[in-house]
Amino acid sequence: MGATRSLLTDPVVPPQPLAGLLVPLRAAGLLVVDVPEADQVLIHRLAEDSRDVGPDTLFIARKGDHSDGHLFLDTAVQQGAVAAIVDADWLREATASAGEASPATSPLGKGERLPSAVFVPVSDTRAALAEVANAFYGHPGASLDILGVTGTNGKTTTVFLLHHLMMALGEKTGLVGTIENRIGEQIIATGYTTPEPIELNRVLRAMVDAGCSTCAMEVSSHGLALDRVRGQRFRVGVFTNLTHDHLDFHGSPEAYASAKKRLFDGLQADAAAIVNCDDPAWESMVADSAARVITFGTDADADVPVEVLENALSGLLLRLDGVEKKFRLAGRFNALNVAAAYAVGRELGYSRDEVLGVLTRAPGVPGRFETFASEDGVLGIVDYAHTPDALDNVLRTAREMMEPNRKLIAVFGCGGDRDRTKRPKMARVAETHADRVILTNDNPRTEDPLTIIAEIQTGLQDPSAATTLPDRAEAIATAVAGSAPGDVVVVAGKGHEDYQIIGTEKRPFDDRMHLENALLQRPLTADR
């Protein structure tokens, strides 16, 4: 189900004096107290996890979602950290508890004196992490045209299109995203849509060292809110759309939108903001941006207009910027992703024919409206849709491609320990568009799967009409077994993911494999 992923070989970075790494902290107003000892310390590596610490490491003790790095300072120092960036308030309290006079050395950790190390007090450890990571790896983003894509839906597809486009146009290009990272054609495993600053700069450094000139990057709302891309200079910022997602993290739609907006607020005057004018949030996104604004959308007045002429499983026939072309991507929603990538290519100076010629050959993206079929004509679709808007787009598109009087079957669930408010909304979407709804698990994590399903059911007008099968494999198999030739089974929520998180355990599970196997094992029958 895809190319083999590799581990990234550490780029060669020479040891650096701690004093030099503190320069950007001082410039940014993050350094609370000067550290005279910094001139005497040489840093060989960075770490924000004590398990990654080795000799001569600078450890950044930031607070994470589930833990506080300050609790692991003693472990970090014992394992070789010679310096640590710490929260200034924490250091003052620790120093006061110890009765120490010096604010920069030997505070307490877990109630005990730490081995000797140099401590750097800052006002914001997360911001300091980004500044130091940029400096340690030599500001690699400054040597790349970074094409940042943000929005609720469409980020992954747009970034894959941009990577394909730039590579085909002769620019060795990196990719940072949800499914994988890439350096040219080399595929590298990833953990976050937008990596934490050390990993991000490590990947960008490797891209530059490998000869990349461009990087297409998914920029998540988490990545923006948590300063993961702080200090990166984007050549282009792309806005796809803004719908319901991640309220468990951001707390409100306004905070979610504000996080997305940070990408465009940070663009320089020589950059471009390329935005979907079909989405009403586009004007607020660029309201405070210094960048040149370029719009794309189905509106005839858009700078880059796109019109869907035909939407079939074989692909889209579009009128894009006045030219009719057939594209391999299926799904009406992908018309806007193609238009966004086209607008970026044109902004970077390539001709209309060059960009269109490449994009018409662009392949689909793993787990994004990925199709499978049985021998007797049942169609299966796997899609990452895990928001109400994305599920609506996928089901509408599937219905549009179907023959009349055929059935659309939707299999989906909602992730545990995540935004609960979207659960009934997704149920309403599924009930509106599908002939049959099967509710199942989707990474329940530490929540009770049946409680999640019960909350989904509150959005159904007729809960008794939906089938509940918590075992996802059984749900997929049941959907296929209950279908007839010409029917469509949409399995939504996980897309490219090859695991299921139950409790705190990550278990192997791939929707694509289960759906494909169910379709292959389906007995050939007449229409039921």
Task: Give tens-digit pLDDT for 152-169.
Answer: 999 999 999 999 999 999
Which segments of the chain belong to CATH 3.40.1390.10?
A: 16-135
Residue 245 pLDDT: 58
Kindly tell me the burial class for residue 521, based on how many C-beta atoms sit within 10 Å of its own C-beta (0-12, 13-18, 19 or more).
exposed
**Each residue's pLDDT tens digit, 18-32:** 999 999 999 999 999
Distances (CA, A) of 298 to 27, 155, 323: 45, 18, 14
Pull the structure tokens for residue 213: 């000139």
DSSP string, 309-353: EEEETTEEEEEETTEEEEES--STTHHHHHHHHHHHHHHTT--HH
Of 459, 467, 413, whose CA–CA distance to 438 is shortest?
A: 467
- Mean pLDDT taken over the chain: 92
Instruction: Indicate the pLDDT class of residue 244, thresholds 50, 70 and 90.
Output: low
Residue 61 pLDDT: 95
Mean pLDDT over residues 464-488, rounded? 97
Instruction: Indicate the pLDDT class of residue 522, thresholds 50, 70 and 90.
Output: confident
Extended strands (E) in 415-460: 436-439
Residue 248 pLDDT: 57
CATH, domain 139-359, list 3.40.50.10800, 3.40.50.300, 3.40.1110.10, 3.40.1190.10: 3.40.1190.10
**CA–CA dist 188, 182 (Å, integer):** 6
Distances (CA, A) of 483 to 288, 409, 433, 486, 526: 51, 8, 16, 8, 11
210 pLDDT higher than 90 = yes
**Each residue's pLDDT tens digit, 339-355:** 999 999 999 999 999 99
Residue 523 pLDDT: 78
Residue 103 pLDDT: 44
Assign residue 495 a region: left if phi > 0, alpha if psi is -120 to 50, beta otherwise? Answer: left
Mean pLDDT over residues 159-185, rounded? 97
460 pLDDT higher than 50 = yes
Distances (CA, A) of 392 to 14, 380, 386, 466: 51, 17, 10, 17
- Which uninterrupted H or E stretch holds 507? strand 505-508
Residue 357 pLDDT: 97
> Which DSSP category does 455 fall into?
H
Contact criterion met (CB below 8 Å) for 330 and 364 = yes
- Domain 370-520: what homologous superfamily? Mur ligase, C-terminal domain (3.90.190.20)
Residue 102 pLDDT: 47
Instruction: Indicate the pLDDT class of residue 6, thresholds 50, 70 and 90.
Output: low
Of 14, 255, 224, whose CA–CA distance to 130 is shortest?
A: 224
Which segments of the chain belong to CATH 3.90.190.20?
A: 370-520
Residue 98 pLDDT: 63
pTM assigned to the model: 0.88
Mean pLDDT over residues 457-485, rounded? 97
**Each residue's pLDDT tens digit, 67-119:** 899 999 999 999 999 999 999 999 988 887 765 544 444 444 443 444 478 99
Place of tokens 């702080």: 230
Instruction: Indicate the pLDDT class of residue 2, thresholds 50, 70 and 90.
Output: very low
Q: Give ∠ CA 163-168-171 in degrees, rounded to 5.
A: 70
**CA–CA dist 171, 498 (Å, integer):** 31
Instruction: Indicate the pLDDT class of residue 252, thresholds 50, 70 and 90.
Output: confident
**Each residue's pLDDT tens digit, 293-349:** 999 999 999 999 999 999 998 899 999 999 999 999 999 999 999 999 999 999 999
DSSP string, 153-178: SSHHHHHHHHHHHHHHTT--EEEE-S
44 pLDDT higher than 50 = yes
Which segments of the chain belong to CATH 3.40.1190.10?
A: 139-359
Residue 7 pLDDT: 58
DSSP string, 97-125: HHT-S-SSB--EETTEEPPS-EEEEES-H
For residue 280, count other CB atoms closer than 10 A to its CB: 9
Instruction: Indicate the pLDDT class of residue 240, thresholds 50, 70 and 90.
Output: very high
Share of the chain above pLDDT 70, in %: 92
Residue 313: alpha-carbon gap to chain centroid: 26
Kindly tell me the burial class for residue 258, based on how many C-beta atoms sit within 10 Å of its own C-beta (0-12, 13-18, 19 or more).
middle
More confident residue, 277 or 66: 277
What 3-state DSSP class applies to 308? strand
CATH code assigned to 16-135: 3.40.1390.10
